[in-house]
A = this chain, B = another copy of it.
Amino acid sequence: MSIDNTVKILQNKGYKMTHRRNEIISYFSESDGYRTAKNLYEHMEDKFPGISYDTVYRNLHLFHDLNILESTSLNAEKHFRLNCSDHHHHHFICSTCGKTKKINICPMDDIGNMLKGYTIDDHKFEVYGLCPDCQKAS
């Protein structure tokens, strides 16, 4: 998800590209993993002293609604990452650093008619543990 691409998506819907939004996209582009609102806020504070949590959450939600970010709930706190929606897949998530690795299998392929009569809206498959780097560090 490039900055240019984001500008287009925003402008198509009447939203503006601001310095803060630009920095948010940069932050996630360099992150390659799940980050919390607080992580982002602390990063933004350095670049924009006095930034409001309102700005952080407003933009997280906006980007999520626009499919620029995806989210997951871990320990009852929401975590966000760039949406890598080129093709459907799931993630291994490192419990320490939040970095992710793609998993190219989807259990829904095998669900068959196991849920006949149920409406399926969404699903989640995530694997948690330590990435190689965090294993070394501990």
Given contacts A73-B76, A127-B111, contact A132 B117 (CB under 8 A): yes
Number of this chain's copies in the assembly equals 2
The CA of A90 and the CA of B111, in the complex, are separated in Å by 12
State whether the Cβ of A40 lies closer than 8 Å to any Cβ in chain B: no
Tell me how many residues of A have a C-beta within 8 Å of chain B.
Answer: 37
Instruction: For the complex formed, measure the closest distance between the CB of A70 and the CB atoms of chain B, giving whole angstroms.
Output: 14
Chain A 102-138, CB-CB to B under 8 Å as 1, else 0, gives 0111111011001101111111111111111001000
The CA of A37 and the CA of B21, in the complex, are separated in Å by 36
By the criterion CB–CB under 8 Å, are A118 and B95 in contact? no
The CA of A128 and the CA of B75, in the complex, are separated in Å by 19
Instruction: For the complex formed, measure the closest distance between the CB of A14 and the CB atoms of chain B, giving whole angstroms.
Output: 27
Instruction: For the complex formed, measure the closest distance between the CB of A89 and the CB atoms of chain B, giving whole angstroms.
Output: 11
Given contacts A73-B74, A75-B73, contact A118 B103 (CB under 8 A): no
By the criterion CB–CB under 8 Å, are A135 and B119 in contact? yes
Q: Of residues 63 to 87 in A, which have CB atoms within 8 Å of B's CB atoms?
A: 73-78
By the criterion CB–CB under 8 Å, are B132 and A128 in contact? no
The CA of A127 and the CA of B77, in the complex, are separated in Å by 20
